């Protein structure tokens, strides 16, 4: 349906994003990337750019993913998800201070974003700031509703305790 729509209106960025999403769900990454790039060229929306960043991240093209995220942030349309993804990429690249800064920026936008808070704690752990990680996780644990996230937090708290005893 999106392909037919695009035959009639090839400049429909939203249809290109949706077609890219369909391709991505089907595991057709190259076709998804092509549609996202076309959508981004038509309208440098945060959705097309973020989808390109996520797709690049999923393909382990970290530098490319980072470029898209940073471009979107520079354009003045940052979101919690953008800063969170940027932080995840920095963390994966072992750029822990930058990861910490990204997650903190995400939490300035939404202080209750549990995933960004957990990711910040992981960056603290990776940067050997165990006390900060423990304090953050202990503070957010009572407010997290999702059992899977609660379990992850408890797991990290155990890991911190074990790492702290190793000192």
Please write the tens of the pLDDT for every residue from 34-60: 989 999 888 877 788 999 999 999 999
CB 10 within 8 A of CB 3: no
For residue 46 the two structure tokens come to 């945060």
Q: Kindly report the average pLDDT of the chain as a whole number.
A: 91
- Tokens 């440098």 correspond to 44
What is d(CA 77, CA 102) in angstroms, rounded to the nearest whole number? 15
Higher local confidence (pLDDT), 71 or 1:
71
What is d(CA 97, CA 52) in angstroms, rounded to the nearest whole number? 25
pTM exceeds 0.75 for this model: yes
pLDDT at 2: 62
């Amino acid at each position: 349906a999106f392909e037919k729509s695009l035959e009639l209106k090839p400049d429909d960025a939203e249809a290109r994003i949706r077609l890219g999403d369909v391709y991505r769900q089907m595991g057709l990454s190259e076709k998804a990337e092509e549609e996202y790039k076309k959508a981004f060229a038509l309208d440098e929306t945060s959705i097309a750019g973020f989808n390109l960043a996520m797709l690049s991240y999923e393909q382990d093209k970290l530098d490319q993913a980072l470029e898209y995220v940073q471009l979107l942030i520079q354009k003045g349309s940052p979101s919690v998800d953008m800063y969170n993804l940027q932080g995840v990429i920095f963390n994966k690249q072992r750029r822990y201070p930058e990861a910490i800064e990204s997650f903190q920026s995400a939490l300035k936008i939404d202080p209750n974003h549990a995933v960004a808070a957990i990711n910040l704690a992981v960056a603290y752990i990776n940067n050997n700031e165990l006390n900060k990680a423990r304090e953050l996780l202990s503070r957010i644990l009572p407010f997290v509703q999702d059992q899977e996230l609660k379990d992850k937090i408890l797991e990290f708290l155990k890991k911190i305790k074990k790492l702290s005893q190793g000192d």
